[in-house]
Amino acid sequence: MINRTFGAALVCAGLLAPMASAQHMMPQGDDMTTGQPATSGMSHAMKHHKMHNHGPIGVPGRHQLPKGKLVLTYRYGTMEMSGIRQGTDDMDANTLVTTIPNAFAALPGQPPTIRVAPVSMSMDMHMLGALYAPSERLTLMGMLPYVEKSMTMRTYAGPAGTTVLGDNTTTSNGLGDIRLGALLALNKTRKGGARVGLGLSLPTGSITETGQMLSPMNTRPTRRLAYSMQLGSGTFDLHPSLTVESGRGALNWGGQLRGILRLGENDEGYRHGHEAALTGWISYRTAPWISYSGRAEYRHAGRIKGQDANIAGPSLGADPRNYGGDYITLYAGADMTPRRGLLKGQLLGVELGLPVYQNLNGVQSKTDWSLAVAWRKPF
């Protein structure tokens, strides 16, 4: 299991990032139309082509809107995790359940080592958003996420040994953390410029989700799910960013530094780790209606601080030390503006993320891949 803040933040990914948060790994992007007002002599599709700076959809805060412009967005992000890793080294399940200490071994009835091993985890996020520009320099935004998570665990029989008792799957779903934000242009050009962003996520996602477990003693108690299976952070979180973007001809490029700052601990006595990410990208328009992008991202996420007294047991996800780490991910995407049909003038994007480096805190599951899809409609 792994920390998710997923942006997900993949997956908004930024989704995706990821969640990507996560959180950490899921889609966070708020890509939108921008640029100079189109002339009346242009076709409807060409107006949107002139207004849209192409690039990766998984980067939040890339663009600002022209004054008075409104954009509605829908984003879908998904990610998959599997396997076991300690730091940068992979580990098999038999080694995990016979050598890794159980953080709760001192409690009555707890075995000395981990006895519940992760098999797989998936997270899906649906995010509705709205963006509006009250001035040329300021764009306001709001995002409403719905999160679905599923985790399959393998329980080993008794307090020791490698006899498999069985697999168990738990799920959680519901409203995530609502996010509000603003982008302010430091300077603004037709090809981009520099801008700062500041977002605030509200603790609207549940942090008290429960599910039925399969214990090493072959009982099925209902317990509070691991931190990674909760739907929000439980804290007010700041999302600052600094973005620089430029281009020449059909080529665009840019970079961004962003973070997540947790403001205090939540009602259950803990907070997720602070995060920082640095990403750079390049995109190329091969035709007036489509561009392709590639980017690389480094992300650091801290461990969980504190502990929820209702989360305990011989599994990795119950230990706050097994969250966060350092990640390098490569992304490839496409950005499209259909010129005919029902989607004429609307903006569509897709981005696939594949991790190339994961140095994880403690012992966790690894991220396999993430995918983000976005639809945007300007008014």
Whether residue 19 is contained in a domain is answered as no
Q: How far apart are CA 37 and CA 52, in angstroms?
A: 11
Whether residue 375 is contained in a domain is answered as no
Can you give the pLDDT at residue 61?
A: 80
Mean pLDDT for 279-286 is 96
Global pTM value: 0.86
pLDDT > 50? residue 272: yes
Q: How confident is the model at residue 190 (pLDDT cuts 50, 70, 90)?
A: confident
pLDDT > 80? residue 30: no
Q: How confident is the model at residue 35 (pLDDT cuts 50, 70, 90)?
A: very low
Percent of the chain with pLDDT over 70: 86
Whether residue 370 is contained in a domain is answered as no
Percent of the chain with pLDDT over 90: 78
pLDDT > 80? residue 107: yes
pLDDT > 50? residue 86: yes
Whether residue 234 is contained in a domain is answered as yes
How many domains does the chain divide into?
1
Whether residue 7 is contained in a domain is answered as no
Q: Which of the pair, 349 or 6, is modelled with greater confidence?
A: 349
* Mean per-residue pLDDT over the chain, rounded: 87
Can you give the pLDDT at residue 54?
A: 76
173 lies in which domain range?
37-365
Q: How confident is the model at residue 5 (pLDDT cuts 50, 70, 90)?
A: very low
Mean pLDDT for 25-52 is 41
Q: How confident is the model at residue 342 (pLDDT cuts 50, 70, 90)?
A: confident
pLDDT > 50? residue 82: yes
Can you give the pLDDT at residue 191?
A: 72
Q: How confident is the model at residue 62 (pLDDT cuts 50, 70, 90)?
A: confident
Whether residue 378 is contained in a domain is answered as no
Whether residue 2 is contained in a domain is answered as no
Can you give the pLDDT at residue 340?
A: 86
Whether residue 5 is contained in a domain is answered as no
Q: How confident is the model at residue 28 (pLDDT cuts 50, 70, 90)?
A: low
Q: How far apart are CA 26 and CA 147, in angstroms?
A: 10
